Structure 1
Amino acid sequence: MDHTPFLLLSYIHAFWPYFLAIITAFIVTIKTLNVHFVENYSKKPKPKLPPGPKPWPIVGNLPEMLANRPTHKWIHKLMKEMDTEIACIRLGNAYVIPVTCPTIASEFLRKHDATFASRSLSMSTDLISGYSAAIFAPFGEQWKKMKKIITHDLLSPDKHIWLHDKRTEEADNLMFYVYNKCKNVNDGVSGLVNIRSATRHYCSNLIRKVIFNTRYFGKGRMDGGAGLEEVEHVDSLFELLKHIYAFSISDYLTCLERLDLDGQKKTVKETLKRIKKYHDPIVQERIKQWNDGLKVVKEDWLDVMISLKDANNNPALTLEEINAQIIELMIATVDNPSNAFEWALAEMINQPELLQRAVEELDSVVGKERLVQESDIPKLNYVKACAREAFRLHPIAPFIPPHVAMSDTKVGNYFIPKDSQVMLSRQELGRNPKVWIEPYKFKPERHLKSDGSDVVLTDPSLKLMSFSTGRRGCPGVTLGTTMTVMIFARLIHGFTWSAPPNVSKINLAESNDDTLLAEPLVAVAKPRLAPELYHL
């Protein structure tokens, strides 16, 4: 596309505060950057980058990014217009490489996995963890240390078994809570359940129980629901998630971070303050209990992290590392299972035959005299297919966290420069029409295997992204799968679901800003099992 001076003037007029800061930064750094461009562009032949829009000097495609929020929709629209499944978009001095093709994605995360095992630095991730925990740390010794602890000490098969009863407690509490909602009457309708709220609080209750051995920070509620403290905590976790790798302008022009032009830094700081208000006192008191010999038995992940010792029998983790890892574990757990069930139930209410098929499978495997248990999961292939289809069609985020190139590399016949940020599109991988028949239709049966073998939520071929893979892959696949399937199985087995009386069909519109349902799903629940099964 041929950019004209008139187009540039229109961008400057619309985004004057941004351009004023950008121009200031340009004046300060012009000499250094001029040398850089002469050395790297004038004297050397330009390598073949993936296709993309022509960048402006210095700022790259930041003007277009700022003019087309939300950024993920602009990127996907741009790629479709260019008819490409890999692109190169320069934001500031960073090359951002979005990918929507499973074959190319596999090249990045399988063939060249070692090269793309680092993470990009960003304002939000720096504030959240200071790169002292596992998820956001760049490749290096700190990341290796924390990943080993998560994999071997927190999420090992033995630890998964050890924490079984805590997970079951929260699955039971979810049933108790929804059963109590069935008794309530709102606007003349009984059994109205806000699915987004119920499932998010189940996920957050579970991870609080696993980390802190408590469901509530405050007194909670008699009906099994969240108290004010838990509501604030969960809302804060999801607010934090909105700002992780959220295309903040300061992530691409770091000299502008102090100006906080888009307000993201202020929001992240305030949100972290609310979260730490609940976490810090528990962590500090628990450390004191271990140091004073008042606690000697490990009951949760916090106890495990405090008890870890290095080769010299000193604490293996600092207070900073423990606090950072707790927040990362929280935000990695609360969103994916809850979002998958909300979308799936909305789709299944609109296609009642799908809901009925899931119910029939559950009744066949479990019966109606007991609740679903984790031991039933291997036999619930259709329920897992429903969850997998939700991950495919309605992922929790447009992209997985970026993978950063640690050296110049050639992928898919394109040159990928060192420090490029590769972003695999969860959304477009799962909806790629070259891969999926009727990609926008919710069809769980597409995931069932003809030989009846086990359905899993992961996909090594990267035709969908349920959990990230490779060296930076999610170590919590077993926990995430268990949580997801238990939400689906417990709620579909325990209740009949329908749209509210005044709604003929659930609105499946997607939010303008993210990949959530535009409006939280509210559905009518009715118990279908014996009353005593719902009580704690």
Structure 2
Amino acid sequence: MANMIGQVILSRRVFVTHGEESNEFKDMVVELMTSAGFFNIGDFIPSIAWLDLQGIERGMKKLHKRFDVLLTKMIEEHTASAHKRKGKPDFLDVIVANQDNSDGERLNLTNIKALLLNLFTAGTDTSSSIIEWALTEMLKNPSILKRAHDEMDQVIGRNRRLVEADIAKLPYLQAICKETMRKHPSTPLNLPRVSTEACEVNGYYIPKNTRLSVNIWAIGRDPDVWENPLDFTPERFLSGKYAKIDPRGNDFELSPFGAGRRICAGTRMGIVLVEYILGTLVHSFDWKLPNGVVELNMDEAFGLALQKAVPLSAMVSPRLSLSAYAF
């Protein structure tokens, strides 16, 4: 996931091999998502915030330094290889070329690092958790996996791998992704918002600086909104009243990326990456539970991102012609 985001932002794979560096990055992202989800006493009792009783702030500062080293290395390597790149500029090229905006303000190196940090951290752990939950639900419901395979065999066949242009022709795959985002949203409480001024909403007085957390997880499982909300049913998005619901922030029933002006900046990229990677994994392989495993653990782990408490273990085998796997 990080390498695909790296191709968009930096025109290269961030981690060439699955070595120490990639494992460290994964650990850093997991630590960030876990720490960011902690209940911090200082947030609710400001007078004792400076004590940092739980050590959360100290831990985040140490983590920040580790990320800063990694991001500095990425930017330096990108700058050093500028003369080798040809074709369209990548995301970082555009950002650097347009550092001066219409108001005369300038994006400094810290701003650029913060933007890269957001895109890499918010786009990796969240997207991979959605894919893992989707695969888990399909293994739990083999008929869903079979229908996805049948659709892909009809549209793509078994002589080549899925490409991005195929996704628009795979409505059932898209429905699986929507249903996963509904039942297992990557950020169950989204990110907190703060009211900049006092206001009134539906008769409730909201003071200035009130912190708001939207429970996306509960909305996705609300029986007043969804029929049989605890069931994993991708078909609900193929016809009927849910058919036109979209996760891009226009429908509050399904808003895994938030909504409004503060919606996730990587919404479109996140949806495409999830659909493409999940589609590739499903189309390219047969998936089965390990021998002796009868029931899957569906417990959720605590943190800003909704991870599985017990990572998915599965047996995979090729289902395409061998030539399709050649790079």
Given the two structures, how large is their TM-score scaled by the length of structure 1?
A: 0.56
Cα distance in 2 for partners of 1:289, 1:228 equals 23
Q: State which of 9, 22, 33 in structure 2 corresponds to 1:211.
A: 9
Q: Is 1:354 the counterpart of 2:144 in the alignment? A: yes
CA distance 1:408–1:370, shift in 2 (3 Å): same
Gaps of 5+ in 1: 1-202, 221-225
CA distance 1:429–1:318, shift in 2 (3 Å): same
Q: In the alignment, what sits opposite 2:60? A: 268
Q: In the alignment, what sits opposite 2:182? A: 392
Report Cα offsets for 1:150-181 as digits up to 9, x if no partner: xxxxxxxxxxxxxxxxxxxxxxxxxxxxxxxx
Instruction: Describe the SS at the equivalent of 2:308.
Output: coil
Map 1:502-517 to 2 at 5 A.
502-511=292-301, 515-517=306-308
Q: Which amino acid aligns with 1:213?
A: S
Cα distance in 2 for partners of 1:478, 1:209 equals 16
Once the 2 structures are TM-superposed, how far is the Cα of residue 213 of structure 1 from its aligned partner? 2.8
Are the aligned partners of 1:243 and 1:264 in contact in 2 as well (CA < 8 Å)?
yes
Instruction: Describe the SS at the equivalent of 2:293.
Output: coil
Q: Which amino acid aligns with 2:239?
A: K
Once the 2 structures are TM-superposed, how far is the Cα of residue 477 of structure 1 from its aligned partner? 2.4
Q: Is 1:535 the counterpart of 2:326 in the alignment? A: yes
CA distance 1:286–1:480, shift in 2 (3 Å): closer
Map 1:232-243 to 2 at 5 A.
232-243=24-35
Are the aligned partners of 1:381 and 1:455 in contact in 2 as well (CA < 8 Å)?
no
Once the 2 structures are TM-superposed, how far is the Cα of residue 423 of structure 1 from its aligned partner? 1.2
Q: Is 1:343 the counterpart of 2:138 in the alignment? A: no
Once the 2 structures are TM-superposed, how far is the Cα of residue 326 of structure 1 from its aligned partner? 0.8
Once the 2 structures are TM-superposed, how far is the Cα of residue 528 of structure 1 from its aligned partner? 0.3
Once the 2 structures are TM-superposed, how far is the Cα of residue 353 of structure 1 from its aligned partner? 0.5
Report Cα offsets for 1:475-518 as digits up to 9, x if no partner: 33221111011122111111010100121122212235673221
Superposition RMSD on alpha carbons, in Å? 2.7
Q: Which amino acid aligns with 1:208?
A: G
Are the aligned partners of 1:205 and 1:215 in contact in 2 as well (CA < 8 Å)?
yes
Instruction: Describe the SS at the equivalent of 2:151.
Output: helix
Report Cα offsets for 1:365-396 as digits up to 9, x if no partner: 11112111111111211111111111111112
Q: In the alignment, what sits opposite 2:276? A: 486
CA distance 1:450–1:397, shift in 2 (3 Å): closer
Map 1:220-235 to 2 at 5 A.
220=17, 226-235=18-27
Q: Is 1:326 the counterpart of 2:84 in the alignment? A: no
Once the 2 structures are TM-superposed, how far is the Cα of residue 455 of structure 1 from its aligned partner? 7.0
Q: In the alignment, what sits opposite 1:5? A: none
Cα distance in 2 for partners of 1:311, 1:410 equals 35
Report Cα offsets for 1:288-319 as digits up to 9, x if no partner: 777xx89897642222222224269x994211
CA distance 1:531–1:451, shift in 2 (3 Å): farther
Give the aligned length.
Answer: 326
CA distance 1:254–1:284, shift in 2 (3 Å): farther
Cα distance in 1 for partners of 2:315, 2:81 equals 46
Q: State which of 405, 408, 426 in structure 1 corresponds to 2:195.
A: 405
Cα distance in 1 for partners of 2:29, 2:238 equals 34
Once the 2 structures are TM-superposed, how far is the Cα of residue 460 of structure 1 from its aligned partner? 2.5
Q: In the alignment, what sits opposite 1:87? A: none
Map 1:441-460 to 2 at 5 A.
441-450=231-240, 456-458=246-248, 460=250
Are the aligned partners of 2:289 and 2:315 in contact in 1 as well (CA < 8 Å)?
yes
Instruction: Describe the SS at the equivalent of 1:525.
Output: strand
CA distance 1:229–1:311, shift in 2 (3 Å): closer
Instruction: Describe the SS at the equivalent of 1:233.
Output: helix
Q: Is 1:246 the counterpart of 2:38 in the alignment? A: yes
Given the two structures, how large is their TM-score scaled by the length of structure 2?
A: 0.90
Instruction: Describe the SS at the equivalent of 2:39.
Output: coil
Q: State which of 380, 392, 400 in structure 1 corresponds to 2:170.
A: 380
Are the aligned partners of 1:245 and 1:401 in contact in 2 as well (CA < 8 Å)?
no
Q: Which amino acid aligns with 2:309?
A: A
CA distance 1:264–1:235, shift in 2 (3 Å): same
Q: State which of 312, 316, 320 in structure 2 corresponds to 1:525.
A: 316
Cα distance in 1 for partners of 2:80, 2:271 equals 35
Cα distance in 1 for partners of 2:33, 2:302 equals 17
Once the 2 structures are TM-superposed, how far is the Cα of residue 473 of structure 1 from its aligned partner? 1.2
Q: Which amino acid aligns with 1:530?
A: S
Report Cα offsets for 1:433-486 as digits up to 9, x if no partner: 211122111111111125997774335231122221101112332211110111
Cα distance in 2 for partners of 1:296, 1:320 equals 27
Quick one: percent identity of the two aligned structures? 33
Q: Which amino acid aligns with 1:422?
A: L
Q: In the alignment, what sits opposite 1:475? A: 265
Are the aligned partners of 2:160 and 2:324 in contact in 1 as well (CA < 8 Å)?
yes
Q: Which amino acid aligns with 1:509?
A: D
Are the aligned partners of 1:449 and 1:455 in contact in 2 as well (CA < 8 Å)?
no
Q: Which amino acid aligns with 2:307?
A: L
Q: Which amino acid aligns with 1:209?
A: Q
Q: Is 1:282 the counterpart of 2:80 in the alignment? A: no
Cα distance in 1 for partners of 2:242, 2:217 equals 28
CA distance 1:465–1:478, shift in 2 (3 Å): same
Gaps of 5+ in 2: none
Q: Which amino acid aligns with 2:228?
A: E
Are the aligned partners of 1:410 and 1:416 in contact in 2 as well (CA < 8 Å)?
yes
Cα distance in 2 for partners of 1:294, 1:495 equals 36
CA distance 1:297–1:319, shift in 2 (3 Å): farther
Map 1:397-436 to 2 at 5 A.
397-436=187-226
Select the structure of larger CA radius of gyration: 1
